[in-house]
Amino acid sequence: MHVTFDAEADAVYIYFAKPNTVKVCYTTELAHNIIADYDSLDKLIGIEILNAQSLIGAPESVKNLIFQDLWEE
């Protein structure tokens, strides 16, 4: 898993596939400002949370969600 936070866009992206290794085929809105990305095999490859600070909390809370490079080798 890989999680990123884009402060300018105020968006959190949770990757379930290594970034840039799988092409997004389609997206589905799970809830307001929460979008799921799927590949061509209908496998969930990521979730984007828009307006993250308003949903999750203060910038410090969002930054605490960032777990980089948690891939199993």
Residues 6+ apart with CB under 8 A from 46: 13, 14, 15, 16, 17, 24, 36, 37
Residues 6+ apart with CB under 8 A from 73: none
pTM: 0.75
With a cut of 70, say whether residue 15 has pLDDT above it.
yes
Q: 73 pLDDT band (50/70/90 cuts)?
A: very low
> With contact defined as beta carbons under 8 Å apart, do 24 and 31 qualify?
no
Residues 6+ apart with CB under 8 A from 38: 24, 25, 26, 27, 28, 44, 45
